Structure formats: structure tokens, C-alpha cells
Amino acid sequence: MAVSGIVVIVAIAITITSFSDSDQINQDKIRVAFFPSIGHIIPIVGLEEKIFEKGIGEEKQIETKLFDSGPQVIESIFSGSIDIAYVGPGPIINGFLKSDGKDIKILSGAASGGASFIIQPNSGLESLENFDGKRIASPQISNSQDVSLRHYLESHGLKSVEKGGTVFVLNISNPDIYTLFAKGDIDGAWVPEPWATILVQELDGIRLFNEEKLWPNEEFASVLLIVRTKYLENNPETVQKWVESHEKTVTWINSNPNKSKSLFSNFLIDYMGKSLPTKIIDESFSNITITSDPIKNSVIIFAERADSLGYLGRSGYNLDGIFYNAVLNVNNGDL
């Protein structure tokens, strides 16, 4: 079994292919999507250490693709060009509902935490009374950090300008958030790792709080492992092997944190051209819990928050069947 070269996808144009045609053409592959991000360290380490390669065996070739956006991943699931993916709860929930619950299943957790509210020094955002007129960024409309930011505002009696409030919420990419933060054009940002730590260490941002402090038991699913339902139906044994290898990788990472960080750094050099400073990787990693627990209650709460913001439509929503419980996963439990 071989691992094909990683395809980096920054701006992706989806070519629609029928599920049946795509599956027939790619029946000897398992196509995996993830981000070049510390929160997605499971596929990175698992591939670098050949844990997935050994687990899957000779019958399937692992083809990997890098993305920078959760909605891009979901569109690739819909088009049949991705089989398994690591992505945040926001795009997963939207994709599950968009497909009427037919195209996506959550197999396992991958990471908990790893997002923070970073503010400018002297912005005054330590106090809620100073939020009026402030400009706060999150990476993308309806993504995990955006939902958390807007929920935080509304839970404290604040609203974004487009909803009649006084807080400007800007949805822009993480690199653009960095640029605007450096220029002083935004007052704060709700961002994932490693960007949160980058803003702190390179731009003197203040970490007002880690998002998990706002969640029950201080934990929430920030990255989940999902599968395209049609692929699952046609390749249940392969999917089971992937989940088992995923579980082994979680154990390996938590037993070998320094080696895992080194592998992540090497991965960035190999596929992105350069790594991050060691101190940024160290602090980013310390803010994330690597786990196969999907923390199901947090996914349900997240959907409730997204719905209250109007992101899930006007006719209600139903998440029944979003978790696939038949796959071996000791931490998955029952919904």
C-alpha cells in the first residue's frame, strides 16, 4: 500500500462527479482531507509514522489532500472526491443538514479546544462595556469560531452590526486576520491554533480566554473525523481500519508529545515550505487536547447555538443519525 503525494488545495474548484462513477474509478483508494494545522495533527502524525498505512493494508492507496476551509471539505464530500475528512463541527452540521442527513457521518473525535479570543493591548475588550463599535474577526461565516464569537456576544447582550447591534464582526481568512491585527485595523479575533498563539507571540496580542473555559467540563469538539456515507456503505472494513488506526495515533501522540510536535514541524517544512517557531508550536499544542472522544453533547450544543443565530434555516433541524456508532471506537459511546 502506498501513500500518494499530498495535494495542497488553497482555492478549490469542485468538479461534480456522481458518487457511483467516483467510487468506481477510485475503488482502490481512500481519499483523506485535513488542514495543515496543529488541530489536525492526528492525520499528519499517523501518516508520517505510517500508522494508517500499516492499518489499512495493501488493498487501498491513501490519497491525501490539504484544505484551508471546512466548507470546501464538505463540498468535496458532496462531489464524491473525498472519502474521509478531519473538519470542525460547524461545516459538518451544515453539510449533514444540507444533505438531509444522507451524505455525512461522524466517526470519531480528533481534537478538543484549540481556539481563543485574542484582543489588542489597550483595546479595552477586557470589559464588556467597551465592545461598542469594536471590530472583531473570525475566520469564516458560520464556521466554528464564528458561531462561538457570535454566541458569546449575544449571551452578553451584544449583537453584531448586521443584526442591529454595535459590534462589527468581520469574517476573513486567518492570514488576513493576522495582517489586520498587525495594522491595528481590528480590535480582536476569535481564532484557532496556531493562529491564536501567533497573534500573541508575534503581535503582542492578549489571550483574553481559551474558548474551552466557556464550555461544560471545559471541553468541546473542535475537530472531528467524518466519512462520506456512500464510501462507508461500500467500504465498511476499510473505514473500520481507519478508525482503529486513528485511535492508535491518538494514543501515540499523547505518549510522544515532543516527537509529535517535531513531526508536525517537519510536515510544515515538507508541504508548506516552512515551519513555525518551536515556541509557537509548543504553546499551540498545549492549548489542544488530542482525543478520539467526539464530545457529542458539545456538537448538539453547537447546533443549538448555530440555529439560534439563523445558520440552520427556518424550518428547524434534526441531527438524528449524524454519529455512526457501529464503527469500533472505545470513546464514542451512545448518542
Write down the pLDDT at residue 11: 34
Write down the pLDDT at residue 24: 59
- To 10 degrees, the CA torsion angle through 221, 222, 224, 229? 100
Q: Judge if 7-113+219-308 and 115-218 fold alike in CATH terms.
A: yes
Grid cell for residue 47: 501518516
Residue 85 and residue 25: Cα distance in Å, rounded?
A: 19
Query: Among 190, 175, 176, which Cα is nearest to 134's?
Result: 190
> Which helix (H) or strand (E) element contains residue 302?
helix 296-308
Write down the pLDDT at residue 26: 65
- The CATH number assigned to the domain with range 115-218 reads 3.40.190.10
User: Residue 325 is which amino acid?
Assistant: N
What does the pLDDT look like over 19-47, one tens digit per residue? 445 565 668 999 999 999 999 999 999 99
**pLDDT above 90 (res 187):** yes
User: Residue 3 is which amino acid?
Assistant: V
Q: Reduced to 3 states, what is the DSSP secondary structure of residue 170?
A: strand
Write down the pLDDT at residue 314: 85
What does the pLDDT look like over 135-182, one tens digit per residue? 999 998 989 999 999 999 999 999 999 999 999 999 999 999 999 999
Percentage of the chain exceeding pLDDT 90:
84
**pLDDT above 70 (res 10):** no
User: Residue 234 is which amino acid?
Assistant: N
Mean pLDDT of 216-228: 98
Q: What is the pTM of this model?
A: 0.90
Average pLDDT, the chain: 91
Write down the pLDDT at residue 315: 84
Write down the pLDDT at residue 303: 97
Q: Is 136 within 8 Å of 149 (Cβ atoms)?
A: yes
Write down the pLDDT at residue 18: 39
- The CATH number assigned to the domain with range 7-113+219-308 reads 3.40.190.10
What does the pLDDT look like over 69-100, one tens digit per residue? 898 999 999 999 999 999 999 999 999 999 99
Grid cell for residue 310: 439563523
For the beta carbon of residue 307, count every other beta carbon within 10 angstroms: 17
Radius of gyration of the chain from Cα atoms? Answer: 19
What does the pLDDT look like over 301-316, one tens digit per residue? 999 999 999 999 888 8
Task: Band the pLDDT of 17: cuts 50, 70, 90.
Answer: very low
The two counts, helices (H) then strands (E), for the chain are 13, 12
Spatial strand order of the sheet with 188-192 comes to 168-171, 135-138, 188-192, 115-119, 206-210
> Hey, where are the domains in the chain?
7-113+219-308, 115-218
